[in-house]
Chains A and B, each alone.
Chain A
Amino acid sequence: MSLKVVIPTPLRKHTGGAEIVEVEAGTLKEVLDRLDNKFPGIRNSVCDDSGGLRRFINVYVDGEDVRFLQNLSTPAKDGSEVAIVPAISGGVR
C-alpha cells in the first residue's frame, strides 16, 4: 500500500530536503522501517532508545494522533497521509 509521509523541517536533513516521501507500508511501524531503509538514521530522530515514539514527537495518520489509535501498530490505508510533527515545531529564523 502506498502512502504519503510529511516530513517536518528539522528531519529534512535526512531526506535530502524532501517534504513529502512516498512509502509502501501497512502500519506505522512499517512506515518507519521503510523510511529508515531509505534514509538511515531518521528512525533515531523519531523514536527513543526503547523503540517507542519520542516524547516530543507527535505522529498523525490521516489527521488523528496515533496515541488515540494503536500507536506504532496503527494501520495505514492506501493513500493515507502520515504526518510527523514535533510537539513544538517551527523553523529557525
Chain B
Amino acid sequence: MSFVKGLRCRECGKEYPARLQAGCEDCFAPLEVDYDYAAISKSLTQERIASRPANLWRYRELLPIEAEPVIGLASGWTPLVRADRLGRKLGLDHLYLKNDSVSYPTLSFKDRVTSMAVNKALEFKLEAVGCASTGNLANSVAAQAAAAGIASYILIPESLERSKITATQIYGARVIAVRGNYDDVNRLCAQIAERHPWGFVNVNLRPFYAEGSKTMGFEIAEQLGWRAPTSIIVPMAGGALLSKIHKGLGELERVGLLKEPVKTKLYGAQAVGCNPIVDAVRRKSIDIRPVKPNTIAKSLAIGNPADGYYASGFIQSTGGWADDATDPEISEGISLLAETQGIYTETAGGVSIAVLKKLVDQGHIDRRGITVVAITGNGLKTPEAVALNTPDAIDAKIEAFERLVEGVAHVA
C-alpha cells in the first residue's frame, strides 16, 4: 500500500496527482512527492524497518512506489564505515563514511534514484527511459532498465570518461554523445522529453526519481542508531542529494523515528572549476549564477544546478557551510581516503574529502560531534583522476627483489 498523496509544487503549493510530470504548470518550479505522514507515523516503527531486508525498500512507506518494487531489490543499505584513521588525521573524534562506492548494481549513489525511476516507469508502462547524465546516472539507468527489460536512451557530454561510456553501452543502452557540456545535454533532453513519450528520469520522472536520494539520509540515521549526525558533507552537482538528505532526515523526525530532533548541519562540496552553489553560499545568497564547468570532477560538472537554489538554502538554514577543491586537491583527497581507509572513490568523493579537510581546518565542523561524509561513487570509474607512477619491473629473481626493497623500512 502506498502513502503517497500526490505531487505538490515546491514554490506555489499547487497540487497534482502522482503522474508523469516535470514541474509546476503555473510557475515551472520542481514538484515534491507529498505523503500522508500521520498514517505513516502510525504504521512505521523502528522494529518494523529492522525486520525487513537490507535494501532501500525497508523505508518504502516514505518512497513514491505504488506497486511492489521489482527493480533495485539489492540497492541501498551501503556500509556506514567508521573512519578512525582518517578522523585522527583530520582531528575529528567521530568520523563516518557513507560508502555508496559499493552501491548495487553500478557503484554509485545513483542506484538509489534509478531504483525509484525504473519502478515508476514500469508502473506507468513506459516503453523506454532516458536521462541526461555526467556518467554515474547513465551507468545506473542503463543497468536498471536492462534488468527491467525496457529500452534506454542515454544522453551524455561528448567529453565523458571512456570508462563511464563503456559501462553504459555494455547494458545495450542507446548512448547519444552530444557536443557540449552537461547543461547543453540537459537542455536538449528537456526538449526531447516534450516530443517523445519516454520517461526521462531527470525530467518527467524527476519528482519520483529524486525521492530515492532520501534513502541515503534514512540509512545514515538508522545506522547511527536512529540518530541524525552533527554534520553531513555532501558533494553537489545539481544539488538534489543534499536537498533530499535534508528532506529525509526531516521526515524521520516527523514520523517519530528519531530519538532527538534533527540538528544536523549540512555542508556542500564542489570543485573550484564548477562551484555555482558554493559561490551562492559564500555570498549568503540562494541566487545561483551559472558557470561553464572546467574540472576533473566530471560527475559534478553541472554549471546550472537544478536544485542549487534549494541546496544553498538548506546549507544556510541548517547552519552549515560550503567550500570547493582544486583539481590537485581532488586527486589528493582520493589518495588520502584510499591510504587511510582503504576506500577508492571517484572524483566526487575526492571533492568531499578535500572539502571536509578545509572545513575542519577553518573551524566550520564540530570536531567532537558525529561527522558523516557521503562517498557517492567508485574510483574504478575515473582512473585518470590520479596520476600514479608505473611500478618498477624486476626480474623474477629473489636478488632483484632484495635490491629493490633495500633501504626500505621493514614492515612490522
Contacts and interface: CB of A to CB of B under 8 A. Distances in A.
A91 B23 CA distance: 9
Contacts of B124: 93
A89 B203 contact: yes
B234 to A, nearest CB: 21
Contact of A85 (B20, B190, B290, B309): B190
Given A85-B190, A88-B190, A93-B20, A67 B27 contact: no
B280 to A, nearest CB: 12
A89 B193 contact: yes
Interface in B168-206: 183-184, 187, 190-191, 193-194, 197, 200, 203-204, 206
Interface residues of B, number: 32
A90 B203 contact: yes
B306 interface: yes
Interface in A20-46: 45
A63 B11 CA distance: 28
Contact of A60 (B20, B27, B187, B292): B187
A57 B306 CA distance: 11
A91 B187 contact: no
A85 B23 CA distance: 12
Given A54-B27, A67-B289, A92-B20, A9 B194 contact: yes
B204 A91 contact: yes
B28 A54 contact: yes
Tell me what chain B mostly uses at the interface: helix, strand, loop, or mixed: loop
B143 interface: no
B223 to A, nearest CB: 32
A93 B204 contact: yes
10 contacts: A10-B25, A56-B23, A57-B28, A58-B187, A65-B183, A67-B289, A89-B191, A90-B204, A92-B20, A93-B197
B194 A89 contact: yes
Interface residues of A, number: 24
A55 B204 contact: no
B30 interface: yes
Contacts of A54: 27-28
Given A56-B23, A56-B28, 12 more contacts: A45-B26, A56-B24, A56-B27, A63-B184, A68-B290, A88-B28, A88-B206, A89-B22, A89-B190, A90-B22, A90-B204, A92-B20
Contacts of A68: 290, 292
A86 interface: yes
A24 to B, nearest CB: 25
A83 B187 CA distance: 10
A30 B187 CA distance: 24
B292 A92 contact: no
Given A67-B289, A89-B190, A10 B20 contact: no
A8 interface: yes
Contacts of B80: none
Contact of A91 (B26, B27, B193, B292): B193
A18 to B, nearest CB: 14
Nearest to B19: A92
Nearest to A64: B184
Given A67-B290, A88-B206, A8 B194 contact: yes
Contact of A10 (B28, B200, B203, B290): B28
Contacts of A55: 29, 309
Contacts of B191: 85, 89
B21 interface: yes
Contacts of B29: 55-56
Contact of B30 (A56, A57, A83): A56
Q: Pick from B11, B24, B28, B194 the residue with the most CB of A within 10 Å.
A: B28
